[in-house]
Structure 1
Amino acid sequence: MSKSAKRLLSFLIVVVLVVGVLLSGCGNKNSSSSSNNTSKQTQTATNNNDPQNLHFKSDKPLEFTMLYSDHPNYPYKPDWLLWKAIKDATNVTLKLTIVPMSDYSQKRSLLISSGQAPEIIPKTYPGQEIPFVSSGAILPISDYINQMPNFSREVKEWGLQNDINSLKQADGKFYVLPMLHQTYSIQYSLAIRQDIFEKNNIPIPNTWDELESALKKLKEIYPNTYPMSDRWQGKALLLNAAPTFGIPVSSSDGLYDWTTGNVLYNSSKDDWEFYPTSQEYKDMLTYFNRLVKEGLLDPASFTQTDDQAIQKFVTGKSFVIMTNTQEIQNSLINRMNDTLGKGNFKVTQILPLAGPKGAVLAGSRLENGIMISSKAKDDPNFPQLLKFVDWLWYSEAGETLTKWGVEGVTYQKVNGKFQLMPDVNFMNLNPSGTKNLQKDYGFSGGVFALIYGGPKDLAESMMTPEVLKFENDANTQRKWLPVPPPVPFTESQREQYNMLNQPLADYVQQMTYKFITGVASLDKDWDSYVQQCNAKGVDQLVKLTNDVYKSSKNK
């Protein structure tokens, strides 16, 4: 680390400590003295030498409007400590438009299209902002990055400029402010019943071929089961497998809607190609079709509900299932304690498997982020709104607040490490806790916080030793594919692209499932499938993508 980076890190640590003291004691305990201390500490912080203007607290009370995605697992409460902590730290009150998570995308679109959207619009994945760009309903946030020092610092220090460039539209600007990861976080991979593997002397697989061998042994021992029964309609499974079979899966449509994508970037040729008719894609389908044909993979994996798949796993009717690092702690293990009994099983999340093209992963260090409504710029406090967003979502102090809460109330520092208070639990980090960090306090919710995102140290602070080892092993033993360059379509070009791509995408998905489950034959029906894809406009789609890419690249 450079001297300047070390000095900046030291300064940020000071900021975090100051804000930690500032927030200490907020809540029901000692509320009067807490408010006084908050005021004094914040005044001290704002008076400190802050040449980069990283800290923010308004000198007058402010109110900003915000769209809020209400998660069913931790429903909104107006008396959450989260809201008081934000107000104490920034002097800002958020006026929320609360929408159930299941309706969020649709309601967001309606509000933006009707001009009724709140000023701050979070929970927007890169690519979801595109429909609103041409209307001018949302701000080109790139025009205001010079007023957001914390965001700018993270992008620069974490080497994210190429990732940010991938968000640019045809006008050279970007319209969504993504949440950021300092390091890659690989959350999705297979979970296995390690106790069953160990009992039968089956090695933990590291490749897809080794998985097939393991499933065959399990089938021999438990002939009346499907050893693997999957969830999420198999989308996460194929997304994990695709790059290891040579399918890039590095376009924004693939990353954020759980599909492998259609027209993908070939870095070795520096062009865009249609992969669903490639030999690599056929090889992947052949592999999974073989698993189904031999009774190793439940064909219902691509149609059953998540709960049906989970129920098979937690009752011992299957032994392999896709999971993620948070879900395995919050759901699978808890349910298996009920169904199989605590101590009667061992579940392990294994590293993403290597394939014919190696141990490679597709991913992004950009996450769901924030759009700013165009009407926000008419707010006389618009500069403060930008600084508020910048501080709450991108300063280490703000990220600590929304993730861990208030020191002395929801967490404490022990030998410099974060630790939940004795009565608080979250993701089984403190199973004896009777209060939940999300449900009872509002912290670590997806609107504000990335559980395993943000600064590396802060991300790791909430990982169990098992998750931390998993993340470190993935980042050292697997190779991440590079971020693809942008293809900045104009509005008319994007309409043309969508008209060509959507029928193809629907057909590819339909046939993908048919080939895997054996409804269609890879031997007899593949050529017809390729012809149908071509007839639906593959050449036009690829030409359009490459023409736009080369034109923008030349500019």
Structure 2
Amino acid sequence: MLKQFSQKWLMLISLLTITALVAACSNSGSNNGNNKDHSATPGSTSTSTSTPPPLYTIKVYTKTQLNVKSSDETDVGKFIKDKFNIVFDYVPYVGDYNEKNNLMLATADYPEIIELSGNEIVKKYIDANALVALDDYLPDSREFTEVYKEQIPLWRISEDKKLYKWETQTPTVFDFAAPNAPDMAVRTDALEKQGWPNLESEDDWVNFLKTAMEQFPTTNGLKTIGLVAPFGAPWGISGVAGILYEKGPDYTGIAGNAGVIFNHTTDKYEDYLKVPDVKKSFKFFNRLYREGILDKESFTDTPVQNLEKLSSGRALAQWYYLNFPTANAALQKAAHPEMQYIRLPIRTNEQAAAKAPRLFMEQLTNPFNSVAITKKAKDPKRIFELINWAASEEGQLIIQSGLKDIHYTIKDGKREPTQLFIDAIKDEKNAKISGYLNFLGKRDVRAADGELYALGSIPRITDEFTLTDRQKEAYKKLGWSNSAEYWLKNGKGVNTGIVPSITNDPKSAEGLTEQKMTELRSKTTVNLIMADSEEEFEKIWTNLNKEYEKLNPQTVVDKYNKSYQEAKAGLAK
């Protein structure tokens, strides 16, 4: 996945899966079931003292926009208040998250805990002496040091080699990543009209959408749109326009959407623009544009405008699978459940024909979900005691599945959601009432019972309680046993190792060149997509590459590979 987009994507997912829902049900009674046995697992931090510590209210800046102001508005937040006497107050934000991070640093107006998007901004905070070094707390934090023993050396990114951060949503296993693949959303009535085809290749999609536009020239009195895309978002053109490269057997989006792509087969970085599947992705969109399928407003549309077109049913499909559960609710309310959307895959013609497994990132690190304690913290030790508990089996289960006997019960050794939990999934308004405690450290892996910690991400539960009747019908007609079947059957996990931690200093010669490489590619992509013919496309492509080579892009690729090899050698010592 793309680094920048990935965070937006994961933010949306956290509002729609139980990762964010576990804390959602705040109407279950004044004691919230906390008289039940939720004692810490052996070795986890205990806060039991003869005199309870004073209430500690901590300001937190997270990426997720919330409908709560304080963590103790939720059951899980109340549990943490009872156990640690800690409450989190959330600092709201609007606009660009990274810009806010930079502004907070410039004005020294940052909260006690802050999420930071990437090692670059983390280093800025370290250089400004704004973060607390965590090393002194590690000897007393057995849970944290054990579960993150592979990550901690990679998190030491400062020149003094001290630990200033942890990361959330890492590590990640295949059966968590694959079901969340953002590919295509498509209207189910259009699928039904054409006999429920299983779409996969470029040709499949072009032919399907071309026919569907003929079959559905208008929708609710408005002209039907073939495909919408969020190219107007900051990460749009630079990120998802060329992303067919990550649907095959060699690449994932782990290196981001700047100058390079990482090849997992060769274990090397490559020039983004020179990866063949990137050009194929641009040519695919040019084909859609020339066929009149691609919405011409896609170049200025963000996910907000995409959602509007999905919610009215005007769009037959959406590129990169965003927000359609919200659109489905709108269509249901408008008495058009037959138009609801489901998710289907997309690959290049060659990828589909080769039938090679598609790679999914099993992330060892995730710098774009970095979290740190700042020098504004009144009691960093108490904060880290909570972080250590969150790393434990009990902590992960409570953060990701909620409270036993309130949000889930145990049946035949497996967690089963309670009705309260199910209602939270189904009620979008209630589902957003979340304490969002992922910043404490969320691991997208399996619990001791063999299933994912995130109860709502387990396929047998996800489909049962999040899919509408229409969606269930559609997948059944397609012959799928569950909504993630294609990706689970046709994918495999790849350990991304230290790849996410490799970056160029933006002020270095290579860093400045990489910015120019990305800007030139992004600026020209629109012209490529809007080319009048294949010949015109090739002419623009040739001219782009001529200008591109003047930047000497190979120096950037070489720098990445050198840094990567040095980092691996350093870890091996």
Give the SS at the match of 1:54.
coil
1:17 paired residue number: none
Q: Distance in 2 between matches of 1:201 and 1:474?
A: 22
Q: Deviations over 1:29-84 (max 9, x none)?
A: 354x977x47xx57xx46x8x2xx22433533152634233855524257613543
Distance 1:196 1:414, change over 3 A: farther
Distance 1:464 1:528, change over 3 A: same
Pick one of 250, 259, 268 that aligns with 1:262. Answer: 259
Pick one of 135, 142, 165 that aligns with 1:176. Answer: 165
Pick one of 447, 462, 476 that aligns with 2:489. Answer: 476
1:194 paired residue number: 188
Pick one of 42, 48, 53 that aligns with 1:61. Answer: 53
Give the SS at the match of 1:320.
strand
The reply to whether residue 149 of structure 1 matches residue 148 of structure 2 is no
Pick one of 544, 548, 553 that aligns with 1:538. Answer: 553
Contact 2:401/2:456 (<8 A) preserved: no
1:103-142 alignment, distance < 5 Å: 104-122=97-115, 124=117, 128-139=121-132
Gaps of 5+ in 1: 1-22
Which residue identity is paired with 1:375?
A: K
Distance 1:207 1:34, change over 3 A: closer
Pick one of 267, 285, 289 that aligns with 1:292. Answer: 289
Q: Distance in 2 between matches of 1:513 and 1:143?
A: 51
The reply to whether residue 243 of structure 1 matches residue 240 of structure 2 is no
Q: Distance in 2 between matches of 1:34 and 1:110?
A: 41
Which residue identity is paired with 1:304?
A: D
Which residue identity is paired with 2:332?
A: N
Between the two structures, name the one with larger relative contact order (CA 8 Å, sep ≥ 6): 2
Give the SS at the match of 1:348.
strand
Contact 1:138/1:371 (<8 A) preserved: no
1:348-387 alignment, distance < 5 Å: 348-351=342-345, 353=347, 356-357=350-351, 358-365=356-363, 366=365, 369-373=369-373, 375=375, 382-387=380-385
Q: Distance in 2 between matches of 1:205 and 1:142?
A: 51
2:201 paired residue number: 207
1:365-514 alignment, distance < 5 Å: 365=363, 366=365, 369-373=369-373, 375=375, 382-392=380-390, 394-406=391-403, 411-413=407-409, 415=411, 417-422=415-420, 425-428=423-426, 431=427, 436-439=430-433, 442-444=434-436, 447=439, 455=447, 456-461=451-456, 463-465=461-463, 469-471=482-484, 473-483=486-496, 485-486=498-499, 495-514=508-527
TM, length-normalised to structure 1: 0.75
Contact 2:362/2:493 (<8 A) preserved: no
Q: Distance in 2 between matches of 1:457 and 1:552?
A: 31
Give the SS at the match of 1:276.
helix
Contact 1:263/1:542 (<8 A) preserved: yes
2:91 paired residue number: 98
Which residue identity is paired with 2:409?
A: K
Pick one of 527, 531, 535 that aligns with 1:518. Answer: 531
The reply to whether residue 314 of structure 1 matches residue 315 of structure 2 is no
Distance 1:419 1:67, change over 3 A: same
**Further displaced range: 187-196 or 511-520:** 511-520
Which residue identity is paired with 2:537?
A: L
Which residue identity is paired with 1:360?
A: R
Give the SS at the match of 1:508.
helix
Distance 1:424 1:504, change over 3 A: same
Distance 1:549 1:110, change over 3 A: same
In the TM superposition, residue 276 of structure 1 has moved relative to its aligned partner by: 0.8
Contact 1:190/1:352 (<8 A) preserved: yes
Which residue identity is paired with 2:309?
A: K
Distance 1:412 1:490, change over 3 A: closer
In the TM superposition, residue 530 of structure 1 has moved relative to its aligned partner by: 0.8
**Alignment identity in percent?**
17
Which residue identity is paired with 1:309?
A: N
Q: Distance in 2 between matches of 1:217 and 1:491?
A: 46
Q: Distance in 2 between matches of 1:296 and 1:168?
A: 48
Give the SS at the match of 1:248.
coil
1:80 paired residue number: 73
TM, length-normalised to structure 2: 0.73
**Further displaced range: 451-460 or 283-292:** 451-460
In the TM superposition, residue 335 of structure 1 has moved relative to its aligned partner by: 1.2
2:338 paired residue number: 344
Which residue identity is paired with 1:241?
A: L
Which residue identity is paired with 2:29?
A: K
Q: Distance in 1 between matches of 2:163 and 2:349?
A: 35
Which residue identity is paired with 2:166?
A: L
Gaps of 5+ in 2: 1-22, 218-222, 467-480
Number of residue pairs matched?
A: 497
Contact 1:141/1:175 (<8 A) preserved: yes
Contact 2:424/2:430 (<8 A) preserved: yes
Q: Distance in 2 between matches of 1:382 and 1:168?
A: 18
Contact 1:403/1:444 (<8 A) preserved: no
Give the SS at the match of 1:425.
helix
